[in-house]
Chains A and B, each alone.
Chain A
Amino acid sequence: MIRFLTRRRGGARADWTDWFSWAYLALGVLVMFGPVLWLVLSSFKTQSALQEFPPSLWPMGQKQVAVPGSDRPLPVFSLPQPDGTSVERVMIRRVGLEGQFIDPADPARHVERARLANVTPVREMHFAIENYIEPLRQFNFARFLGNSLFVTIVATAITLLINAMCAFALSKYEFPGRNGIFLFIISTLMIPITVVLVPAFLIVTGLGLGNSLWGVILPPAATPTGVFLLRQYMLTIPDELMDAARMDHASEWRLFWRIILPLAAPALAVLAIFSVVWRWNDFLWPLIVLNRQENFTLQLGLAAFQGELQTQWHYLLAMTVVTLLPVTLVFAFLQKYITTGIASSGMK
């Protein structure tokens, strides 16, 4: 790893191009991972830490200590002493511009008074795990997660199957109007979803799929992008393979399952990634179809934290991290599959 990172162009001394590419790549890492890093770190901040100014990168918060006689943990401040040193004291009460402090090690001793302008809060690193625990318990997040998983997995499976079948017919069979149908499918790419939103909603409710997960899954299952992607890939599968399979007593159905689908695996993996990301992040269509909370997907659940007057940023950020995890995992897994899984071709 170290050797990889310190690799230089040519000679022993670092060329200016080495510095340049280093700087460029570092900038790229910052731009790409900066927001993610901020999101993950901020998701561990308490609500008050989030609203602090100036903001800090790490989840810092004021140190708090539990003191007998008080039902909540109390904030810790640093009090300057006449000899120039400072000691940590807990503020038990605030009176005007002054505070009343006690020693946390010996709370029964006397109460010290100090002007608030002279004391500084004691800060420490604090991970607010409750950001994660609280919504998972309080809001029905497991339910949302389950709904999202169901929609994503089932919709991706259906998308792959019917897009592959469509692409197979369009790429491997000669029939009148083939190019016309293909152009028609591609041209639907130009129609934005907002235009078909209302008619699609009317159809979904007409079919009795309103407020059900199937209503979310089915209408966008056939995607022109997917058909195009798979068709272009299937065109590169040699026709001689199909002829060979036909001579080998394979039915057209078997041809599709045993020859075309395995050979189109790289394109299918790409489409699977797209589909998972689309479905996981989809907000508008589920928002329209679903209106009972038990059917909400994660994205709709997340939106619930963002109220009209007040946004619970600490919960929102924590749940965004949870939402991001599955997509990241799927992507990492399938990306490896793409690079290693492409079967070497048996054709010259």
Chain B
Amino acid sequence: MSSLALRGIVREFGHLRVIHGVDLDVAEGEFVVFVGPSGCGKSTLLRIIAGLDQPNGGDVLIDGIRVNDRRAAERGLAMVFQSYALYPHMTVRQNLAFGLENQRLAKAEIDRRIAEAARMLQIEHLLARKPGQLSGGQRQRVAIGRTVTREPGIFLFDEPLSNLDAELRVQMRVELSALHKRLKATMIYVTHDQTEAMTMADRIVVLRGGRVEQAGSPLHLYNHPANRFVAGFIGSPRMNFLEAVAQGGSTIRVDDMPPVPLPAAAETSDGEAVTLGVRPEHLGFVAEDGLPGTVDIVEHMGGESYVYVTLANGARLTLRNPGQTALHSGEPVRIGISGAAHLFSRAEGEPAIAARRPA
């Protein structure tokens, strides 16, 4: 089990800078998820940590020791690749043993570790097979098993679930979380799927364009997004955004629709153009005032319903309605804020506007 620290990591490909000075600390035993849209540099960052790629600037520290000049094998890490990268010409047992043989471990120790990992991941019956004879989920387990046998200081995962079908993905998600609990190991996990990030992470690091947008616990990111990008990226269905004008600190006006009262006053100046962000579950139907609109589509999930509404000014909103609803398409409705609302400045980076402290 190791800790990791990144200090001002910069990576350039030719003249293109893809990582702009990333600083990060990962504590021992922490499960950290790097999440972001494709091309945000999360995989590059992982490869730099692994030692498969070299940063153009900055330091990688493992247990406080600078490891920039150490080869990948010497950093005490193990990685699960997106394609699993199992050696196709070797049996599962040989796949698991390859790294250990290269370290010149004793035969008995290799057998012990393989047996333990195989039992933990329930792949004992597959040891004699080749990767080509395994299903996607089984390959996934073998790839994880290969890292487990290495007993690394830090586990690295590069989008390991993206090749699995939806059902298997949910199952492997639970198993990975259980594995983390059992091994109490430091894990760094890269994904573009915010659901994986929310369900597994101790801490999420949201990346965009090679910069850390926000890092924090899943619920902290959900409840207090630092900017509009994080707010939009975390949470499913997405947060609703409306172009609006602040009126004092406590009400807001969207075009010429009736003003909407905010649940909490915010640090805005009168007449400031802002973006209003409200999660689908924090919107509700009201009898008077509120934003007028018509129902487009209702999705019945059984336990809850998603209602898609087009407002009078053409903006579209998604509402999450607990339980079942009798609403139907074309029905006129009025919408108000029933829970938390977020205001985002139009300034660069669209940061969140803090709530006004009570005077």
Query: B73–A346 contact, CB under 8 A?
Result: no
| B52 contacts chain A at the CB level, 8 A cutoff | yes
| A98 contacts chain B at the CB level, 8 A cutoff | no
| B305 contacts chain A at the CB level, 8 A cutoff | no
Q: Which B residues are in CB contact (< 8 Å) with A251?
A: 102
Residue of A nearest to B82 (CB): A240
30 A-B contact pairs sorted by A residue (CB < 8 Å): A240-B82, A241-B87, A243-B85, A244-B85, A244-B86, A245-B87, A247-B50, A247-B52, A247-B72, A247-B78, A247-B99, A248-B150, A249-B99, A249-B103, A250-B99, A251-B102, A258-B87, A258-B98, A259-B87, A265-B89, A343-B88, A343-B130, A344-B130, A344-B131, A344-B132, A345-B132, A346-B85, A346-B130, A346-B132, A348-B83
Query: A248–B98 contact, CB under 8 A?
Result: yes
A244-B146, A247-B72, A247-B78 known; 17 other A-B pairs, CB under 8 Å?
A243-B47, A243-B79, A244-B85, A245-B87, A246-B73, A247-B79, A248-B150, A250-B99, A250-B102, A259-B87, A262-B89, A344-B130, A344-B133, A346-B85, A346-B88, A347-B86, A348-B163
Q: How many Å from the CB of B140 to the closest CB on chain A?
A: 10
Q: How many Å from the CB of A334 to the closest CB on chain B?
A: 18
| A263 contacts chain B at the CB level, 8 A cutoff | yes
Q: Which B residues are in CB contact (< 8 Å) with A247?
A: 50, 52, 72-73, 77-79, 99
Q: Which residues of A contact B (CB under 8 A)?
A: 238, 240-241, 243-251, 254, 258-259, 262-263, 265, 343-348
Complex alpha-carbon distance, A280 and B37, angstroms: 58
Q: Which A residues are in CB contact (< 8 Å) with B131?
A: 344, 346
Q: Which B residues are in CB contact (< 8 Å) with A245?
A: 87, 98
Q: Which B residues are in CB contact (< 8 Å) with A344?
A: 88, 130-133
Complex alpha-carbon distance, A52 and B89, angstroms: 58
Q: Which residues of B contact A (CB under 8 A)?
A: 47, 50, 52, 71-73, 77-79, 81-89, 98-99, 102-103, 130-134, 136, 139, 146, 150, 163
Query: A347–B73 contact, CB under 8 A?
Result: no
A249-B102, A344-B130, A348-B136 known; A240+B72 contact, CB < 8 A:
no
Residue of B nearest to A242 (CB): B85
Of the residues B71, B98, B103, B139, contact of A346 by C-beta under 8 Å = B139
Query: A346–B86 contact, CB under 8 A?
Result: yes
Q: Which A residues are in CB contact (< 8 Å) with B136?
A: 348
Q: Which A residues are in CB contact (< 8 Å) with B150?
A: 248
Complex alpha-carbon distance, A260 and B71, angstroms: 20
Q: How many Å from the CB of A241 to the closest CB on chain B?
A: 5
Q: Which B residues are in CB contact (< 8 Å) with A262?
A: 89
Q: Which A residues are in CB contact (< 8 Å) with B84?
A: 346-348
Q: How many Å from the CB of B139 to the closest CB on chain A?
A: 7
Q: Which A residues are in CB contact (< 8 Å) with B89?
A: 262-263, 265, 343
Interface-centre pick from B47, B73, B85, B134 (highest chain A CB count, 10 A)? B85
Complex alpha-carbon distance, A347 and B299, angstroms: 38
Q: How many Å from the CB of A261 to the closest CB on chain B?
A: 10
Query: A240–B83 contact, CB under 8 A?
Result: yes
Query: A263–B88 contact, CB under 8 A?
Result: yes
Complex alpha-carbon distance, A347 and B99, angstroms: 19
Query: A346–B87 contact, CB under 8 A?
Result: yes
Of the residues A244, A259, A343, contact of B132 by C-beta under 8 Å = A343
A249-B102, A345-B132 known; A244+B81 contact, CB < 8 A:
yes
A250-B98, A346-B86 known; A243+B73 contact, CB < 8 A:
no
Q: How many Å from the CB of A164 to the closest CB on chain B?
A: 15
Complex alpha-carbon distance, A246 and B85, angstroms: 12
Q: Which B residues are in CB contact (< 8 Å) with A265?
A: 89
Query: B73–A248 contact, CB under 8 A?
Result: yes
Q: Which B residues are in CB contact (< 8 Å) with A254?
A: 102
Residue of A nearest to B73 (CB): A249
Complex alpha-carbon distance, A245 and B98, angstroms: 8
Complex alpha-carbon distance, A246 and B52, angstroms: 8
Q: How many Å from the CB of B154 to the closest CB on chain A?
A: 12
Query: A240–B87 contact, CB under 8 A?
Result: no
Query: A243–B81 contact, CB under 8 A?
Result: yes
Query: B72–A246 contact, CB under 8 A?
Result: yes
Query: B88–A246 contact, CB under 8 A?
Result: no
Complex alpha-carbon distance, A244 and B73, angstroms: 10
Q: How many Å from the CB of B203 to the closest CB on chain A?
A: 24
Complex alpha-carbon distance, A244 and B160, angstroms: 14
Residue of A nearest to B152 (CB): A247
Complex alpha-carbon distance, A190 and B132, angstroms: 41
Complex alpha-carbon distance, A125 and B211, angstroms: 89
Q: Which B residues are in CB contact (< 8 Å) with A259?
A: 87
A263-B89, A345-B132 known; A243+B99 contact, CB < 8 A:
no
Q: Which B residues are in CB contact (< 8 Å) with A241?
A: 85, 87
Q: How many Å from the CB of B143 to the closest CB on chain A?
A: 9
Residue of A nearest to B99 (CB): A248
Complex alpha-carbon distance, A345 and B90, angstroms: 11
Complex alpha-carbon distance, A250 and B82, angstroms: 20
Nearest 8 pairs of A and B residues by beta carbon: A344-B132, A346-B131, A248-B99, A346-B88, A249-B102, A244-B85, A346-B86, A249-B73
Residue of A nearest to B86 (CB): A346
Q: How many Å from the CB of B102 to the closest CB on chain A?
A: 4
Q: Which A residues are in CB contact (< 8 Å) with B73?
A: 246-250
Q: How many Å from the CB of B171 to the closest CB on chain A?
A: 18
Complex alpha-carbon distance, A249 and B79, angstroms: 12
Residue of A nearest to B79 (CB): A247
Complex alpha-carbon distance, A250 and B100, angstroms: 10
Complex alpha-carbon distance, A247 and B72, angstroms: 6
Complex alpha-carbon distance, A254 and B87, angstroms: 13
Q: Which B residues are in CB contact (< 8 Å) with A246?
A: 52, 71-73
Q: Which A residues are in CB contact (< 8 Å) with B72?
A: 243, 246-247
Q: Which A residues are in CB contact (< 8 Å) with B163?
A: 348
Q: Which B residues are in CB contact (< 8 Å) with A240?
A: 81-83, 85
